[in-house]
Structure 1
Amino acid sequence: MDERIRRHAEVLVDHCIDAGADDGVEVRAPTAAEDLVVALYEALGRRGARPTTVWRNPRATRAYAREMDPDDFRPKGHRVAALAETDAVILIKGARNAAATSDVGGDTGAAASRAKEPLLRERLETRWVITQHPTPADAQRADLSTPAWRSLVYDAVDRDWAAVRERQAKIADRLAAADELRLVVGDETDLRLDVAGMGAYNDAGRENMPGGEVATVPAVDGVEGTIRFDHPLRRGGREVDGIRLDFADGRVVDHAAERGEAVLTDLLDTDAGARRVGELGIGTNREIGEVTGNVLFDEKAAGTVHLALGDAVGECVPDDRTANESAVHADLVCDASEDARIDLDGETVYRDGSFLIDV
């Protein structure tokens, strides 16, 4: 086994979930990630934890979804009950075929997302992390050789995360103190977010591995303006390019896409919260040197900004504020490396991919 896989597993177990003796740990993985699961079991065994694996099989998911009536989707009570007894969850991405579920209807996918919302709520109550196992299919989607994709993944993961947290702390503090955030990119993006009283998220590789971002959340009705996304959104194996969203009173009131607009419409129609913003994040991870079409990495890449439609990042929402709730949390990525700026309360703190705050 590649020793980098064992190092990846150690980072997940020791840093991300800090597994302890007798912790119940759910490992949710595709069959393509078997090597990482084996390495995780080694690391969890050294900690005395109690792992269970839930294997994901896109072929089976496709077969089931294509036969289901969207009205027949229901929450899986036994899975919700199991998660309620779980201390930590490790979710692994990795595909044999990146488009395996691309011919599942959008209304079916939205119904499946709604049925999974109780699972989402239970998982968010655990110590959890999402990560990526590098596979040939994902390398192909990134337009990289498999060895190059593996190196990109492992270089982005194996970092001094304590130092990352310390370096990003000043930026997060400035975000948390702001009342208004304005994002301007070229002639097509001018977006204002009311972030008064909201907190900030300093992502140093806890819930996401790799980490490397700072983020905040707007008030539910506090987004105005237009944003265009340069990089594609992938949902259920399908791709949406050239997305434009218009906001008023915090809600998407108009949208368009150059390709795959029906997929975007289905996402927005998932539930009432899907048309509102759950996060505005700024990538800081300079070990991710290129955009690859994998949102877990692209949203962390230095020089990108991402906006998430749907469920709010709970760490940013104080108890006395309303958090947007949705069955989806879909990150859309915007290139902010050129002709771009972020203003906080009228002060430019970020320009063309770099923070102007002394860090």
Structure 2
Amino acid sequence: MDPRIREHAETIVDHSTDIAEGDDVIVSAPPVASDLVVALFEVLGDRGANPVSLNADERAKRAFLRASEGFETPSHEQALMDETDAFIHLRATENATETGDVDPETTAAYSVAQQPIREERLSKRWCLTQFPAPANAQLAGMSTEAYENFVWDAINKDWGAQREFQDQMVEILDPAEEVRIVSGEGTDVTMSVAGNTTLNDYGEKNLPGGEVFTAPVPDSVEGSVFFDKPLYHQGREITDVALEFAGGEVVSHSAGQNEDLLTEVLSTDEGARRLGELGIGMNRDIDRFTYNMLFDEKMGDTVHMAVGMAYDDCVGEGGEVNESAVHVDMIVDMGAESRIEVDGEVVQRNGTFRFEDGFEA
């Protein structure tokens, strides 16, 4: 076994989820990630934990979704999540478009039924990470070996140093009142973050980490955003997403490809038409776009915004939490002709932060 797999497993158990003796742990993974599951069970055994494995098979999920006519929250799955101490989910796929022929309305209905389980999972210690499977390498346009190196360079790193680097942005954003994002001709959007909390993601709940993020005040978002990076959602690629906000809501939208899927996302529920997250990518080891949001949203010189659910931990006491059954991240390239303003002051220009060498105000 590649020793980097064992290192990955140790990072998940010790850094990301802080597993202790006696902890009950769910490991959810597809078959192609079995090497990392084996390594995890070995490390969890060393720590005296009690793991159980769930098979997250995309082919099986596709078959279920296409065969079902309606969904209810499964009580046995809910009970399992209620009782666990920690949840570890491994992403990896043998076919990146496996669920591409599932009707978007079906997927949206399934997401709504799963919402109580998802909310319970988010209340636990949890970690979402990636195993470098060949199909993910293919989607990224990379050889399997190159993709493995890319994944483990982004994951097996000094997270203490990364935390210190990102803390500099947290100190700017956490006390802020208003943020403005400008990029090219298509993006000029403002939002209030007053009273909300900025979190430092240094490889705990998401591995890799490499972002700072907060929640916009739901009704404060005004302006337009052009997401120049594509995304894969439900096994389909959505490109050139443009959103127009007024009073916090998406009042118009378009996409160059699969606009119908974007429409279904925004129509899931009332909260799906509002922003639930503003994130700033700061992981310099993620230096290329790979069609994998777990990595792409952390990429240096990017900003991402998510329509839908806001994380409770980002919303200040007494603030409004945007609730939704979806949380869909989309990315803006901030490498050129761009800036981030916080309370009227430029804090990043063309991808360089004011605390980095080469910054020009």
TM range (shorter): over 0.9
Counterparts of 1:17-56 in structure 2, within 5 Å, are 17-56=17-56
Query: What whole-Å deviation, never above 9, does each CA across 1:316-357 have from its counterpart, x for those lacking one?
Result: 112311111111111101111111100001000011112113
Aligned to 1:227: 225
Structure 1 residue ranges (4+ consecutive) displaced by more than 3 angstroms after TM superposition: none
Name the structure 2 match of 1:145. 143
> Deviation per CA, 1:32-53, whole angstroms, max 9, x where unpaired?
1101000000110110000011
Q: How does 1:200-239 map to 2 (within 5 A)?
A: 200-239=198-237
Give, in angstroms, the shift of residue 358 of structure 1.
Answer: 5.8
The CA distance in 1 between the partners of 2:247 and 2:139, in whole Å, is 36
- Residue 25 of structure 2 aligns with an amino acid whose one-letter code is V
The equivalent residue for 2:84 is 86
For 1:122, give the aligned amino acid: E
Aligned residue for 1:66? 66
Give 1:170 deviation, angstroms.
2.3
Q: 2:9 — aligned with what?
A: 9
The letter for the 1-side match of 2:184 is G
1:327 to 325, 328, 352: 325
Can you give the 5+ residue segments of structure 1 that lack an aligned partner in the other structure? none
What count of residue pairs does the alignment treat as equivalent?
A: 357
Q: How far is 1:314 from its partner?
A: 2.2
Q: 1:166: Cα distance to partner?
A: 1.8
Q: Which residue of 2 aligns with 1:299?
A: 297
Question: Helix, strand or coil for the counterpart of 1:290?
Answer: coil
| Residue of structure 2 in register with 1:99 after alignment | 97
Structure 2 gaps of 5+ residues are none
How far 1:223 sits from its partner (Å)? 0.5
In the aligned structure 2, how far is the partner of 1:314 from the partner of 1:174?
21
The structural deviation recorded for 1:216 is 1.5
Q: What is the distance in 2 between the residues matched to 1:332 and 1:149?
A: 22
CA distance in 2, matches of 1:214, 1:143: 27
TM-score scaled to structure 1, two decimals? 0.98
- Kindly report the root-mean-square deviation, in angstroms, between the aligned alpha carbons of the 2 structures: 1.0
Rounded to whole Å, the distance in 2 between the matches of 1:180 and 1:346 is 8
Provide the C-alpha distance between the structure 2 equivalents of 1:46 and 1:249, rounded to a whole number of angstroms: 53
Q: 1:263 aligns with which of 261, 264, 267?
A: 261
TM-score normalized by structure 2? Answer: 0.97
Letter matched to residue 281 of structure 2: G
Q: Secondary structure at the match of 2:5?
A: helix
Superimposed CA distance per residue, residues 273-317 of structure 1 (whole angstroms, 9 cap, x where no aligned partner): 111111111110011111111111110010111001111122211
Deviations 1:132-172 (A, max 9, x none): 00011000000000000000000000111112112211210
Paired with 1:166 and 1:303, the residues of 2 have a C-alpha distance of 18
- Of 187, 190, 210, which residue of structure 2 is paired with 1:189? 187
Q: Which residue identity lines up with residue 99 of structure 2 in the other structure? A: T
- Tell me the distance in 1 between the aligned counterparts of 2:212 and 2:123: 21
CA distance in 1, matches of 2:131, 2:269: 31
Identity of aligned residues (%): 48
